[in-house]
């Protein structure tokens, strides 16, 4: 019996029909209700003439309907394309066009974006409104679709079949669509369970955005255990603290920047976190000081780290609760390979590194991506003989713990989001006054790393930092914008092969600090 996302819902509804599945704002839905809504919504998708494996996007802040849309799509045999809510129109339009999306689910935050895209994208036939206000005239209402359509049997797609396309920043300056199978998403969630320790009575808070592969892993684990999903529309530290207490949250997944905001919030000390058993964190470097602060303030909350990437659906290693010891050396580690991950650190010639010797981290397992959508050349580079080449450099210790020391791919991780510097450089370069630019990550208390641009202007040109940033604003998402710019007149330092030596450029910013890159 092939594993499938829709099968996970069928199973959960059978195991725990009357248990609370979704809790959002004042509303609550049982597993059986959610399954029935999904099956009817899938019936509606079929009537919209969507064919097997057609792509259907979701562009929405977190809500109950997001979860249902995410499963109605595979229930109907289609592929989900969850879009980045922080991207600007141009970026999401690029992804929608690239994936040849036929229908899109959206909420109030994206009414304007979707209206514009419907005009520009010929193949985008249907827009389905999942918000809780008034449905725009030009869109279909999810509630009406559910009410008007009968439940259909779940599609028998599954296993190695593509379940979704997940867009990430691209090394070449364009977003890449990571194709993930039903099996990969399921296997990654299975591998998290022994450390994440969800039980049926657990209450998982979707604090991170639901489009993100990291939250998807937490979401799928919660689905495997038929536990309760509690959803907050977007991350707000005060709201999240309040929900942890009022909803008796037991588990959540957050990125380090979010943990910091929670711990530093004035309400943190007065919040009752006694229900909280486990925080799974990952997706960006976690400063040791933040970990210590968390263990000091919330000594009874277990911490588990996950390291991976979208191409691994997304988990490769886990650092279990027991390894989170105050002042312990392991806190710098990304953990050990999860039970499904075979991991090597390899030299440029492909041979295995010795213990302690850093090389590119490559990962093999049932969670590896099918490839990049429509990008055979990049797939060939990133996926060789079943191994995903992560672009990160790391080494194994004697105890089998992986330590990440650098990123082979030129990337800044800021607040849990990957920013490929080429994308930012392209945006900056499109300004008339700019002659050359290099973008690097510099240390940031709040974001782990901040995007910084070093700009060389054309002779006699003058332009301010603000002007360049504002010029980029229509081209790339807010989190990709340079947070700061320095101007220089001498040429950028180049390697023998003519590549900009970013290690040189980074040096002065990182003096006396270790750049944490796991």
CA 202/CA 276 separation, integer angstroms: 10
Binders in 12-41 for a copy of itself, by CB under 8 A = 14-16, 19
126 lies in the site for a copy of itself, by CB under 8 A = no
3-state secondary structure of 6: helix
Q: In terms of CB distance, is 301 or 318 closer to a copy of itself?
A: 318
Site mask for a copy of itself (CB under 8 A), range 209-238, x = bound: ---------------xxx------------
Of 337 and 416, which CB lies nearer to a copy of itself in the complex structure?
A: 337
Residue closer to a copy of itself by CB (options 19, 136) is 19
**Measured from the CB of residue 431, what is the shortest distance to a copy of itself in angstroms?**
44
Taking the alpha carbons of 478, 481, 482, 488 in that order, is the dihedral positive or negative?
Answer: negative
Cα distance between residue 43 and residue 46, in whole Å? 5
Task: Decide if residue 11 touches a copy of itself (CB under 8 A).
Answer: yes
Q: Which stretch binds a copy of itself (CB under 8 A): 99-107, 124-132, 268-276, 341-349?
A: 341-349
**Distance separating the N- and C-terminal Cα atoms of the chain:** 36
User: According to the binding rule CB under 8 A, does residue 364 interact with a copy of itself?
Assistant: yes
Does residue 325 interact with a copy of itself by CB under 8 A? no
Q: Hey, which residues between 391 and 450 contact a copy of itself (CB under 8 A)?
A: 400
The Cα–Cα gap between 36 and 326 comes to 47
Residue pair 336/402 in contact (Cβ under 8 Å)? The answer is yes
Q: Residue 500 gets which letter from DSSP?
A: B
Residue of 35, 55, 176, 336 that binds a copy of itself (CB under 8 A): 336
Stretch that binds a copy of itself, among 107-115, 187-195, 301-309, 482-490 (CB under 8 A): 187-195
Under the criterion CB under 8 A, does residue 354 sit at the interface with a copy of itself? no
Stretch that binds a copy of itself, among 10-18, 143-151, 165-173, 452-460 (CB under 8 A): 10-18
Q: How far is the CB of 245 from a copy of itself (least distance, A)?
A: 24
Residues 367-396 that bind a copy of itself (CB under 8 A): 368, 386
Per CB under 8 A, 341 contacts a copy of itself: yes
Rounded to whole angstroms, the Cα distance separating 342 from 333 reads 17
Near a copy of itself by CB under 8 A: residue from 342, 380, 474, 514: 342
**Helix residue ranges, H only, 76-163:** 89-98, 111-120, 142-148
State yes or no: residue 302 binds a copy of itself (CB under 8 A): no
Bridge partner residues of 306 (DSSP):
282, 318
Stretch that binds a copy of itself, among 92-100, 338-346, 405-413, 416-424 (CB under 8 A): 338-346
CB closer to a copy of itself, 322 vs 429: 322
Instruction: Please pick, from the candidates 153, 194, 356, 493, the single residue that binds a copy of itself as defined by CB under 8 A.
Output: 194
Between the CA of residue 175 and those of 100, 167, 369, 476, 502, what are the distances in Å?
A: 14, 6, 16, 11, 22
Cβ atoms of 318 and 334 within 8 Å: the answer is: no
Residue 481 interacting with a copy of itself (CB under 8 A):
no
Name the burial class of residue 469, with classes exposed (0-12), middle (13-18) and buried (19+) by CB atoms within 10 angstroms of its CB. Answer: middle
DSSP 308-363: E-GGGTTEEEEE-GGG--TT-GGGGS-BEE-TT-EEEEE-TTSPBPPTT--EEEEE
Helix, coil or strand: residue 148: helix
The whole-angstrom separation of Cα 386 and Cα 176 is: 19
Which residues sit at the interface with a copy of itself, rule CB under 8 A?
1-3, 7, 10-11, 14-16, 19, 190-191, 193-194, 197, 199-200, 224-226, 320, 322, 336-337, 339-344, 364-366, 368, 386, 400
């Amino acid at each position: 019996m092939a594993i499938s996302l829709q099968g996970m819902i069928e199973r959960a509804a059978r195991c725990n029909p009357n248990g609370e599945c979704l809790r959002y704002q004042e509303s609550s839905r049982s597993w059986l209700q959610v399954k029935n809504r999904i099956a009817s919504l899938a019936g509606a998708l079929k009537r919209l003439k969507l064919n097997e494996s057609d792509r259907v996007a979701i562009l929405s802040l977190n809500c109950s309907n997001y979860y249902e849309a995410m499963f109605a799509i595979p229930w109907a045999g289609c592929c989900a394309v969850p879009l980045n809510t922080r991207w600007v129109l141009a970026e999401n339009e690029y992804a929608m066009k690239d994936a040849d999306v036929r229908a899109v689910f959206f909420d109030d935050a994206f009414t304007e974006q979707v209206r514009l895209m419907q005009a520009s994208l010929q193949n985008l036939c249907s827009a389905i409104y999942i918000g809780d206000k008034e449905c725009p005239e030009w869109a279909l209402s999810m509630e009406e679709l559910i009410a008007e359509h009968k439940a259909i049997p779940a599609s028998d797609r599954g296993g190695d079949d593509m379940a979704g396309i997940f867009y990430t920043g691209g090394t070449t300056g364009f977003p890449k669509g990571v194709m993930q199978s039903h099996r990969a998403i399921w296997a990654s969630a299975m591998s998290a369970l022994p450390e994440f320790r969800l039980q049926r009575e657990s209450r998982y808070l979707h604090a991170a955005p639901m489009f993100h592969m990291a939250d998807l892993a937490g979401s799928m684990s919660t689905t495997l255990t038929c536990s309760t999903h509690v959803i907050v529309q977007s991350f707000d530290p005060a709201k999240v603290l309040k929900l942890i207490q009022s909803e008796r949250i037991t588990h959540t997944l957050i990125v380090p920047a979010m943990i910091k905001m929670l711990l530093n919030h004035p309400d943190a000390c007065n919040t009752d976190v006694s229900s909280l058993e486990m925080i799974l964190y990952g997706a960006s470097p976690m400063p040791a000081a933040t970990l210590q602060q968390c263990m000091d303030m919330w000594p009874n909350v277990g911490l588990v780290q996950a390291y991976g990437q979208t191409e691994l659906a997304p988990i490769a290693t886990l650092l279990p609760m027991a390894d989170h010891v105050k002042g312990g050396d392991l806190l710098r580690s990304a953990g050990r390979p999860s039970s499904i991950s075979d991991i090597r650190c390899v030299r440029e010639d492909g041979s295995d590194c010795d213990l302690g010797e850093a090389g590119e981290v490559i990962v093999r397992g049932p969670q590896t991506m099918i490839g990049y959508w429509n990008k055979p050349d990049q797939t060939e580079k990133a996926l060789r003989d079943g191994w995903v080449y992560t672009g990160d450099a790391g080494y194994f210790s004697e105890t089998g713990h992986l330590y990440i020391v650098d990123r082979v791919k030129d990337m800044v991780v800021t607040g849990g989001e990957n920013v490929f510097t080429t994308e930012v450089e392209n945006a900056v370069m499109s300004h008339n006054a700019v002659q050359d630019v290099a973008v690097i990550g510099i240390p940031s208390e709040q974001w782990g790393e901040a995007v910084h641009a070093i700009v060389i202007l054309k002779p006699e040109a003058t332009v301010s930092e603000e002007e360049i940033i504002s010029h980029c604003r229509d081209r790339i998402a807010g989190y990709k914008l340079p947070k700061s710019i320095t101007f220089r007149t001498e040429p950028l330092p180049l390697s023998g092969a003519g590549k900009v030596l970013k290690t040189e450029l980074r040096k002065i910013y990182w003096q006396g600090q270790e750049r944490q890159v796991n």
